[in-house]
Structure 1
Amino acid sequence: MSDDSDNVVLKDLPPERLLSGNQFQPILAGIRCMDSIETVQAYLAYETKHQNRTHVQDKLRLRARELRRGDGDE
């Protein structure tokens, strides 16, 4: 996917909306839709500042590693 799709993710599902819930499945689905390191970093920064849930941070870091390795497309 292109950076344009990530812009839509950030606009339509900003960190404060995606990461505000307590249900983990929608958060995981949102993380899987992220296709740029910049987007993952923005959500990780928000999570660290506001919720600081280790399991969510771990999933965001894993997604960033996948994107860096080039196997982020599932």
Structure 2
Amino acid sequence: MASIDLDKVLDKAWADKSVAEVLAAPVDALKGVSERQGELLKEAFGIKTVADLADLKFARWAQALAALDAAK
């Protein structure tokens, strides 16, 4: 089972929300992501929510490449 310290990854306003609510939230719910950066992600990749960001194929590809490199 996966786990994560939500206080480390979420803006304070989202820390008490359910995972489903966070996934439906705008990407600026993530700590360190500004509203402007969220707007840019929407313009560039059509990302509106945290779930959209998680499903971004380019991020998944980059993670897979990093995992391959770490496995050597």
Shared topology, TM-score over 0.5? Answer: no
Greater relative contact order: 1 or 2 (C-alpha under 8 angstroms, separation 6 or more)?
1
- Whose Rg is larger? 2
TM-score normalised to the size of structure 2? 0.31
